[in-house]
Structure formats: C-alpha cells, structure tokens
Amino acid sequence: MTAFGKLVRSTAFRLTLVYLVVFAFYAAALIAYFALNTGRLITEQITETVDTELTYLSAQYTGGGLRRLVLIIESRSLRPGSSLYLITAPTGQALAGNVGSLAPGVLDSTGWSETVYRRLDEQEIAEHSALARVVQLSGGFRLLVGRDLEERVRMRSIITAAARGSVALVVVLGLAGGFFVTRRVLKRFDAVTETTQKIMAGDLSGRLPVTGIGDELDRLALNLNAMLERIEALMRGLKEVSDNIAHDLKTPLTRLRNRSEAALRTARSEADYREALESMLDESDGLIRTFDALLMIARAESGQARDNMIVFDAGDVVRGVCELYEPLAEEKGLAIKVETAEPAMIKGNRELLSQAIANLVDNALKYATPAQGAPAEIVLAARREAERVLLTVADRGPGIAEAERARAVERFVRLPQNMSEPGSGLGLSLAAAVAVLHGGELKLEDNAPGLKVVIALPRHADL
Amino acid sequence: MAPDNSLDFPATRVQHTPMRLLIIEDDRDAADYLVKAFREVGHVADWAPDGEDGLALALDGAYDVMIVDRMLPKLDGLSVISALRAKSVETPVLILSALGQVDDRVKGLRAGGDDYLPKPYSFSELLARAEVLARRRGGRGEETSYKVGDLELDRLSHSVKRGTTEIDLQPREFRLLEYLMKHAGQVVTRTMLLENVWDYHFDPQTNVIDVHISRLRSKIDKGFAQPLLHTIRGAGYMIRDGVR
C-alpha cells in the first residue's frame, strides 16, 4: 500500500472526512438561514416604506386633489434614489411619475406585485425588478408606488459568494487538518505496529514507545508495556521451571533405564524377570507421582486453581486429614490430634489445601521419629490470629536446622538425614506453592524439639 | 496380611457376565492394549479411533460401559458424551484424560461422564472402575441395607451385625464398609475408596487406606471362620462371601 493509500484508509482520516461533510453541511445550512432571513428583512423594509409613502400620498390626494398629488410625485420623482411612482387616469394613461415601462398587467389589479420596470430617465434598455403596490384612488385614478429590488439581489449574490467561499475554505482546511492529524496518529500507530511485530517475532524485551504527553495512546502503550512485562516474567519463570523439571526427571528415568538394562543382562529365570518388571513398575509409578506433583505445583504457582475457590472452615480440612492418617499414625506408635477452638474461615481450594496438609502429615510420619523422651505426637491446628489463619503441623522429631530450612522447601530437595525413606522431595514444595496460591506463606519453625510447619493464610470473614 | 484373604486380580474375579465395552481412543497402541486386556479377562471390547465413529457406534450398539479419551480427532470426548446424553443414551462413560487436575475432572463429570481416570492409569484400576460402572447400570442402586454372607449393614439404623454379634464402627469405618458392601463381589481400588469414602482426589504418598482396611477387617472378620474382606493383589479390596 502506498503511503497515501494507507493514510486515506486510516480510521483517523475517515473520521476527518465524516466531520468535514458534517461541518460543510452545517456551514451551508447556517448561511442559507442567514440569507433567507436577510431577504425577508429587506422585503419587509421595502413594504413598510412603500406603505408609508402610499398612506402619505393618499392623504395628499384626499386633501389637495389630483393636482397636489401630481406635484408631489413629480418633485419626489426627481430625487436621486427615489421610489417608483406612477399615476394613471381611468383610461390607463400615465399622468405623472418616473416609470417608463412595466410588466404588462401590473396596473390592472390593486395590491402587491413584483415586476420588471424601466425608469423614464434611463437611457439604457436594462430592466430592473421592483416590488410595487397599486391602490385605487377615488375618481378612477390609480397610484403605483414601488421600490427597486436591486439591494435584495445584490445581497443575495454577496451571500451566495460568501457561502461558496466559506464551504470551500472549510473543505480545504478540513482536508489539510485531517491529513496532518492522520499523519501524526498514523506515525505513532506505525511505531506501535512495528514494536508488536518485533515482539511477535520473538523479541519479548521490546516495549511500545511512550511520548510522555499522557494522552490515551500513551496510556494504552503504558498498559500494554506492563502486560508485556508480566508476560516476559512468566515466560522466564516457565523456562526456569521446565529446565529444572527436565533436569530432575532425568534421574528417575536413568534409574528406570538402568534397571531394564541390568535385568536384560543378568536375569536368568522368569522369576528374575518378573521381579525386575515389578520393580520397574514401581519406579514408573513413582515417576508418575512426581509428574503429578510437579503439575500440581505448576498449577498452584500459575494461579489457575484460583477459579474454584470457596469459603470454608480450615479446621475441617485439618480434621479430615487427621482422621485419614490417624490409623497409620497409631500403627507407627504416634498420637495424632487436632487442636482447633473456633471456626477459622478461609477462601480457598479445599482439595489442594487438604493435599498440602496431607503432605505435611506424611512427612511428619516418615521423618519425625520422636526423640528419646519427647512425647510421641503430631499436633495439627487451625487457629485464628488477627487477620490470618494459621494451619500448623507440629512434630517431635529431630526438626530441621535453621540454616537448612529455606532449602528444604525447594523442589526435589531432600535433606541428607531423610534419604533412607522413599520420597520425591516435592511434598513441602507443593505445600508452599498451595500457601502462595492462597495469598499466604509457608514457614518452618522450631517446635523445640521438633519441626513446626506453619501455613499462614489470609482470614475470611465468618459466614 | 493373612494369606487366606489375598487374591490375585483379575484371575479370580467373580464377574460372571461379560461386559460389552466401547473404547474411543485415538492412540492405536493404547487402544490395542486395552482391547486385548479386556478380552483376556473375558469382556468384549470394540474400538473407535475418533469421536465421530465413536458416537456412531455408541448410538448403534448396546454397550455396558464406554471408555472415552478426552482428546479425540474430529469430535472431542466431552462433545461425544454430551451428544449421547442429549439423545438420552445413558450408557455409563468413563473418561480417560491426560489432564488429571480437579477442574478437568469436574468438567468431565459435568459433561455427563460417570467416572474420570487420569492418564497414565493402571489396567487393574480401569477394569475395577469399568466393572463398577457396568454393574451400576444393571440396576443395583442405593439400598437401605446390604448383606454379604452373615454380615449385615443397615443404613437406616447405622448398625452392623455379623451373625448375631453387633459390631461397633466409627462413622468413617461405617462408610467404608457401606461402600465395599454396595459393591460386594467387585474389586474396589484404593483410589476409588479415597474418592468415594473420603472425597479426596489426590494420592497420599503413603498407603493410608490399607491401615483403615486392616482396622475394619479386625472388626468384621476377626474371630470368624469365614473371612469376607479380601485383599486383591495389585488392585485393591473386595468384600464377598466365600472363595469360589
């Protein structure tokens, strides 16, 4: 598309055209209204003048007779710029006045008429138009008084010329202004288009130009830039996570591969093969679990699960998980109990939160064999604290040294003392991700002795 | 675990009536595997490679259960189910999906699916769920009491009796037994128990269900000659009268 074509097809230019038509029409209408009223005013003035003269002349005729009327008319006729006068006898013969010729039939009837005429004193044949009134005088005489309409005609032509001129001016100025504005707007849009094309081509660091005027285009650009900023951050995060996942899933995959290789190399009997296959099945189940946990973490971190949040008592979640794990804890010689006093309402995803608490309890059962002399118990709680709800899982095991706490929450991190137990190293990460999803945080604290995991969530108003 | 109530699955199933299954799955390998596996245990399975074929087959044939993949060529799984339900075809549908999240499950069930199993799945889990769905179709709905051998559960009075002995159960144990007895003679997996008795859809890392079962077992089977609650190796649990 040529630059001109682009300009003409732009929204700004089309808008300009629409406005132009509207304004030209408006100007024309205004002038037409003006012309009409001016014309009417002139006509009114003429009729008034004519009426006044006729009243005066009729009075003179009534008072002084035909002679006096003729004398007055003759003297008036000689004045420059005078009205038109004509007195006719009952025979139709002109007795006095300054009218040379009239359109035929004007004198036949009384009243107003518009007519062409020629003055007596004029040499040229040019005819003018006039507005005249004829009255019947007593004795069969008729008197015509009229005024030239030249003024009205001249006025009309002046207004017409003015109308043409101003409409032309509106069109020219409008088009010029439109081109100017459109080109300016187009230039800014072109800059935006260029940047977006660069971004689409893969350069996420591109940002839209902001002029600093603070107009609507600037505001749009600022918002789009903020959006791009967020997208870039998300993409960076995604890349980091997928790199980590790729790295960390290779470990169990390698193990799986090694086992099948070893089985192929060393297995002798069907029982050997069977055993190898079963262990590989276990390994792949573990891999699937890891995958599920990773997906769940990713989902919690991306905030997708926020759609299904409902308001419920966090105490119910804690009690539910406690009830699920109670027989297992008993089997391991541990008491598991819940300490909840009052309802602790939160808004969240019940399933995810249950899973988070379950992971914490699971960890406590696996890793927190009570130290000698410590009470063999795991205490769950859901407490209100100011504007927060604290969900805690506290054990009496060896705890985690302060220096190691931050690392323990990271994905796939398994503390050296726990390596003997099976696990993916994702349980605590998931619980932390769930806490963040709910607008809260997960903290590891000293239970003196033991570990106390606290999930602090924003409290929801009681129902 | 006592050896007398451990059984292999599916070799010792008590499913006498073979099911007619329709599998709508675009992955040929996965479909072949399923068709063969179902045949091995005595069921009849048809296969449709895409949504349109699947819908046509489902409308024609009388199937006991359908297994539908969510992502299918031509017509996706949920649309197939909606179309079937719109035509009042009430064949139970089990949805298979690579999308295992809770929301996806809810979407699947809302579209008219009856059960939902995320991929990758184990065949024993799929078989157990399909058989439960097929049986549900057979008209066995909610009853006010269940009886297996000399074990009786009354849902109205919340009481359980073995022979003449009253058995005292915790509320959750009662619901666990209720679910097992409702599906007496059928294999019930740990996941099914977790979903239906506890309403949890996640996988607790440690097998907490086993401990609940052994508690229940100690209450209903301990001291009786004939064990009723059986562990099915590699699959789950089943309650039934006698080993045939």
In a domain, B9, yes or no: no
pLDDT in tens, A295-325: 778 777 776 667 678 888 888 899 999 999 9
In a domain, A146, yes or no: yes
C-alpha R_g of chain A: 52
Whole-model pTM over 0.80: no
| Per-residue confidence band for B100, with pLDDT thresholds at 50, 70 and 90 | low
- What burial letters (b/e) apply to A361-382, b meaning 16+ CB within 10 Å? bbbbbbbbbbeeebebbbbbbb
In a domain, B2, yes or no: no
Alpha carbon of A191: minimum distance to chain B alpha carbons (Å):
42
The CATH number that applies at residue A63 is: 3.30.450
CB-nearest partner of A323 from B172, B204, B214 = B172
Residues, chain A: 463
Residues B192 and B235 both lie in one domain? yes
Domain count, chain A: 3
pLDDT at B216: 93
Q: Is A343 on the interface with B (CB under 8 A)?
A: no
Asked if the model's pLDDT at residue B203 lies above 90, the reply is no
Asked if the model's pLDDT at residue B4 lies above 50, the reply is no
Residue A308 CA to residue A169 CA, distance in Å, equals 63
Asked if the model's pLDDT at residue B238 lies above 80, the reply is yes
Q: What are phi and psi of A453, to 5 degrees?
A: -100, 125
In a domain, A169, yes or no: no
Closest chain B residue to A325 measured between Cα atoms? B208
Average pLDDT over all residues of chain B:
84
Closest chain B residue to A305 measured between Cα atoms? B103
Q: Is A76 on the interface with B (CB under 8 A)?
A: no
Q: How far is CA A308 from CA A305, A335, A442, B103, in A?
A: 6, 34, 21, 8
pLDDT at B178: 92
| Per-residue confidence band for B175, with pLDDT thresholds at 50, 70 and 90 | very high
Q: Is A124 on the interface with B (CB under 8 A)?
A: no
Residues B54 and B129 both lie in one domain? yes
Cis before B120 (ω within 30): yes
Residue type for A95, please? L
Residues B28 and B129 both lie in one domain? yes
Question: What order of strands is seen across the sheet that includes strand B229-233?
Answer: B6-8, B229-233, B236-239, B188-189
Residues A332 and A260 both lie in one domain? no
In a domain, B12, yes or no: no
The CATH number that applies at residue A262 is: 1.10.287
Domain enclosing residue A266, as ranges: 216-299
pLDDT per residue, tens digit, chain A (463 aa), is 577 777 778 887 888 888 888 888 888 888 888 888 888 888 898 899 999 988 999 888 888 888 888 888 888 888 877 888 888 888 878 888 888 778 777 778 888 888 888 887 766 666 778 888 988 888 888 888 988 888 788 888 888 888 888 888 888 888 888 888 888 888 888 888 888 888 888 887 888 888 888 888 888 888 988 888 888 888 887 787 777 777 777 878 888 888 889 888 888 888 888 888 888 888 888 888 888 888 778 777 776 667 678 888 888 899 999 999 999 988 888 888 888 778 888 888 888 899 899 989 988 888 877 767 777 888 998 888 888 899 999 888 777 777 777 777 776 666 666 666 666 678 888 888 888 888 888 888 887 788 889 999 998 877 6
Domain enclosing residue B35, as ranges: 20-137
User: What is the number of other CB atoms lying within 10 angstroms of the CB of residue B210?
Assistant: 17
In a domain, A167, yes or no: no
Residues of B in contact with A323 (CB under 8 A): 172
pLDDT at B177: 94
Residues A276 and A337 both lie in one domain? no
A169: its two tokens: 């001016």
Residue A60 CA to residue A77 CA, distance in Å, equals 16
Residues A312 and A454 both lie in one domain? yes
pLDDT at A420: 62
pLDDT at B102: 65
Domain boundary among B90, B111, B137: B137
The CATH number that applies at residue B152 is: 1.10.10.10
pLDDT at B5: 55
